[in-house]
Structure 1
């Protein structure tokens, strides 16, 4: 008896060519590219026949009608697995997926090195005041070299908000540079944080003591707006703020105000409420800001890694196995029942 084909679709393009390359060698799968230029009804008709959906993770890159919401799920009776392009899954309503019996998988850890290097690189550039120096050269106001006296990152206290895969890697790189590391992560105990190279503290203590604060938490109901005017005011005067995690975890206007009044010495921002930010965004005009557009994990190495991880999740499902990195593990029993029906045989628990 021929095993049913597990159909996987994505819109526009994969994260990296290795996604297609990995699945091309896998048995029992059919990979379908959907051109976003098609009419919505045609896109929906194709998605409705698929068992897996490879979903762009950046909310501003994927048209909202193709975010995995309860309304979209209601039109996709065959869907059993939604796999995010990256570590984030802003475009996927996890609760709605759980209710529908759809497993959600992300690629946590796949881009940790790239993002951690981005965060540390921003810290170094900001402590050396390189953005301000470039601004002065372009403006024709560059004067004596010591007018923009910098600082060395080595020996500075680094505060890491969120000590998961990327936060832990950032902490390791900071320690290698001789930096003591504090962390705020309410989901980890002190011994776990210590094993990951950081001392667990409350958020107010981290803000008061850190010379550089680096954000590495996901965007959730708890972390939305986590850092606002009060938190920036509580930071050390002259401290550096870096965010390579998610926009909406911090208040952009409050950050700008803290920079203008000199409370903060600089900011490195890779993630924004709107991505990319508008050209006239006030933060982009501040000389002590270094900006990028959600590209911390956009390296060949990271993209190759996360693309292969995503492909392997679909391969597991096509073989009747529960994929690794389930964001909603509570769906497992229902997922296995639905997967078994899809494959025409009982699915395995692992």
Structure 2
């Protein structure tokens, strides 16, 4: 069975392979709308959409184009919503499930890219690389011993989340002879072990690890999870690394933990507001290495994500179930709505 699906995507940047694969498929009618300056035209296109592919980063897409109850009500033909990344901050999954709308993400497509940058942040913080760079550029004169850092080799690494990215983190960590501990409520202890880590409870992970790295989704369970109490529970002199999502860690509490010397440093790729304001307290600290939510943004990762997204939509056009369903419980309702759409 081949279904002629009306696919609409937000007009934010994507690798051209998405439009090439989706646009050339006989079972798909692809359209793109501008995210600014032509709202009436955009709503007209979305009202016809059966699949809506949109930017995953909440601050890169105007809020009116996020998938909310309101958008779903204005777009009654929607059958599926496709995130442009592994995350889906711009999509209210609960509202979609209630409306019988399938949600797909592109989990795993940028996993190696994120893991590489997490390790880059880890090394940069531990070896004080960015501090050295800034001081040299300012023309300061200082001894090498003044900026002496620490090796990460042989340290204890704690992974909060052991999905695609966490699994790749464990592989890289073993190459540095690190001990890897992990916690993940969605996996059994056996599954965590199979992915290369020793399963532990969160309190043990915080107490034992020299470096804690976040690789969990932003949801009701994780929002605000790393608060002042969590940072106090971390090992004295530990490093905090996150390439997960802003809002999972409390930025003020982290700043305090760094200012008091309880934590030795932090590598931050994600922020509550992206980009963070220039006067953000964390940006003023030499022991913080900051990046602009770019861990999953490499040429290779962007290509992989766009290709996987296109392939999932092509599967939908063939009447097939995509492999990366965020809300699998909706599938029977989706299938029934699809059949009704074909009548």
Distance 1:168 1:139, change over 3 A: same
> For 2:52, what is the secondary structure of its paired residue?
strand
Offset of 1:79 from its aligned partner? 0.7
Which segment is superposed worse, 159-168 or 20-29? 20-29
What's the counterpart of residue 28 of structure 1?
A: 27
Is the 2:132–2:147 Cα contact (8 Å) retained in structure 1?
yes
Structure 2 CA distance for aligned equivalents of residues 129 and 27 of structure 1 = 53
> For 2:339, what is the secondary structure of its paired residue?
helix
Structure 2 CA distance for aligned equivalents of residues 284 and 38 of structure 1 = 33
What's the counterpart of residue 231 of structure 2?
A: 232
What's the counterpart of residue 198 of structure 2?
A: 199
Which segment is superposed worse, 155-164 or 232-241? 232-241
Superposed CA deviations along residues 50-109 of structure 1, whole A, max 9, x for unmatched, are 111001101111111111111110111111010000000011111111111110000011
What's the counterpart of residue 47 of structure 1?
A: 46
Is the 1:133–1:142 Cα contact (8 Å) retained in structure 2?
no
Gaps of 5+ in 1: 345-350
Is the 2:2–2:318 Cα contact (8 Å) retained in structure 1?
no
What's the counterpart of residue 126 of structure 2?
A: 127
Structure 2 CA distance for aligned equivalents of residues 273 and 33 of structure 1 = 29
Offset of 1:148 from its aligned partner? 2.1
Structure 2 CA distance for aligned equivalents of residues 15 and 263 of structure 1 = 41
Structure 2 CA distance for aligned equivalents of residues 45 and 319 of structure 1 = 25
What pairs with 1:130-279 in structure 2 (closer than 5 Å)?
A: 130-138=129-137, 141-279=140-278
Superposed CA deviations along residues 154-195 of structure 1, whole A, max 9, x for unmatched, are 111110000011111111111111111001112222111111
> For 1:303, what is the secondary structure of its paired residue?
helix
Structure 1 CA distance for aligned equivalents of residues 138 and 230 of structure 2 = 32
Is the 1:19–1:310 Cα contact (8 Å) retained in structure 2?
yes
Structure 1 CA distance for aligned equivalents of residues 3 and 103 of structure 2 = 22
What's the counterpart of residue 329 of structure 1?
A: 328
Q: Structure 1 residue 117 and structure 2 residue 147: aligned?
A: no
Is the 1:184–1:200 Cα contact (8 Å) retained in structure 2?
yes
Superposed CA deviations along residues 298-334 of structure 1, whole A, max 9, x for unmatched, are 0111111110111111111111112121101111111
What's the counterpart of residue 15 of structure 2?
A: 16
Distance 1:343 1:259, change over 3 A: same
Is the 2:3–2:318 Cα contact (8 Å) retained in structure 1?
no
Distance 1:240 1:79, change over 3 A: same
Structure 2 CA distance for aligned equivalents of residues 341 and 188 of structure 1 = 37
Offset of 1:37 from its aligned partner? 3.3
Is the 2:2–2:319 Cα contact (8 Å) retained in structure 1?
no
Structure 1 CA distance for aligned equivalents of residues 313 and 341 of structure 2 = 13
> For 1:79, what is the secondary structure of its paired residue?
coil
Structure 2 CA distance for aligned equivalents of residues 163 and 186 of structure 1 = 9
Number of positions where the alignment pairs a residue of Structure 1 with one of Structure 2: 343
Superposed CA deviations along residues 214-234 of structure 1, whole A, max 9, x for unmatched, are 000000111001111111122
Distance 1:256 1:140, change over 3 A: farther
Which segment is superposed worse, 239-248 or 148-157? 148-157
What's the counterpart of residue 347 of structure 1?
A: none
> For 2:266, what is the secondary structure of its paired residue?
strand
What's the counterpart of residue 289 of structure 2?
A: 290
Is the 2:2–2:27 Cα contact (8 Å) retained in structure 1?
yes
Offset of 1:136 from its aligned partner? 3.4
Structure 1 CA distance for aligned equivalents of residues 16 and 147 of structure 2 = 44
Structure 2 CA distance for aligned equivalents of residues 24 and 31 of structure 1 = 6
> For 1:315, what is the secondary structure of its paired residue?
helix
Is the 2:33–2:41 Cα contact (8 Å) retained in structure 1?
no
Query: Structure 2 length as normaliser, TM-score?
Result: 0.96
Offset of 1:27 from its aligned partner? 1.5
RMSD across aligned positions (CA): 1.5
